[in-house]
Amino acid sequence: MATIGVPKGLMDFTEKESAAPYVRAVVATTNDQEPSRGIHMKGSAASVTLTIGGADIAFYLLQGHTYPISITKASATTVVLLY
């Protein structure tokens, strides 16, 4: 498992993780988490601040959509981190 805040390299994924699009989902918190492989917006469409590569960036996320973005933190718990 990667250290919080340190992105995984291509060789750091297990065979199970590499073969499947996503193998685990975790609800986002306002604290640093393991870098995700993607995110899913489960709540209503909204502007959410995501931490990407150490920078906070505002995104307008649509409900029910999955985005191939690696993040470590979100400003809303309506975001699900996918691994």
Query: 9-59 pLDDT, tens per residue?
Result: 555 666 666 667 888 999 998 999 999 999 999 989 999 999 999 999 999
Q: Residue 59: how many CB atoms within 10 A of its CB? A: 17
The residues spanned by each domain of the chain are 10-82
Read off the DSSP letter of residue 27.
E
Q: Are 37 and 70 in contact (CB under 8 A)?
A: yes
Asked if pLDDT for residue 1 goes beyond 60, the answer is no
pLDDT at residue 23 in the model: 84
pLDDT by residue (tens digit) across 60-76? 999 999 999 999 999 99
pLDDT at residue 16 in the model: 67
pLDDT at residue 7 in the model: 60
Could you give the 3-state DSSP secondary structure of residue 46? strand
Reported pTM: 0.76
